[in-house]
Amino acid sequence: MNKFVAAFAGILLLCATSVAMAKDSYTNIIPAQPTQTDKIEVVEVFWYGCPHCYDFEPHVKKWLKTMPDDVEFRRMPGIFNKNWVGHARAYYTAEKMGVLDKIHTPLFEALHKDRKRIFSESEIKDFFISQGVDGKEFTRVYNSSEIETKFKQAFLMGQRYKITGVPAVIVNGKYMTSASQAGSFENILKTINELVAKERGE
């Protein structure tokens, strides 16, 4: 009987933990941060060098196919130290040059699938060139004041969001969720949808 009681208590504890995880699947961002759109904004914070961000990417792409019309999605590079700056510049450079389709997923794959070292400006430039991007134009944009401003803004917003790891998702400048909070990539998407619905209701 004692074994049964102990086992039953264990099950109750697991259930209670599951409920607690559901309640703690996101955190409130205080104070709420401004957004860049009149729609409900969803921001993915990532780093190309992060294996978890690489694994999360297919889930993001799947979610984007069902994204509601009143939601606007954008990505923001995370910048936790100077080693992340090059990849942040790479993202904004690709965005500015209109070649994200040639760079975003291929860069993830080159780093994590092919195990290539692409961190310095010269290594990033060589990668862009390998994807058919003009090298001189890359250098001009990569080192432009516009890209400098963008990655500095990303660094500042990361601090304001109080991000401690990536991937992280910010909903409407008010809420943050991540795999460590939600428990899985699937639960991140579920949490995003719930928070979007919450914002729509408000």
Q: Are 198 and 26 in contact (CB under 8 A)?
A: no
pTM of the shown model = 0.87
Closest of 51, 88, 52, 38 to residue 179, by C-alpha: 52
What is the predicted pLDDT for the residue at 24?
84
- Scan for tokens 């500015």, then name that residue: 96
What is the predicted pLDDT for the residue at 3?
43
Question: Per DSSP, what are the bridge partners of residue 43?
Answer: 74, 170
Joined together, the tokens standing for residue 145 give 């004041």
Joined together, the tokens standing for residue 120 give 């310095």
Domain 81-156 top-level CATH class = alpha beta
Closest of 48, 44, 149, 135 to residue 90, by C-alpha: 48
* CATH fold for the domain made of 26-78+163-202: Glutaredoxin (3.40.30)
Q: What is the 3-state secondary structure (H, E, C) of 41-63?
A: EEEEEECCCCHHHHHHHHHHHHH
Q: What is the full per-residue pLDDT of the chain (202 aa) written as tens digits?
A: 444 334 333 433 433 333 333 458 999 999 999 999 999 999 999 999 999 999 999 999 999 999 999 999 999 999 999 889 999 999 999 999 999 999 999 999 999 999 999 999 999 999 999 999 999 999 999 999 999 999 999 999 999 999 999 999 999 999 999 999 999 999 999 999 999 999 999 7
Locate CATH 3.40.30.10 in the chain.
26-78+163-202, 81-156
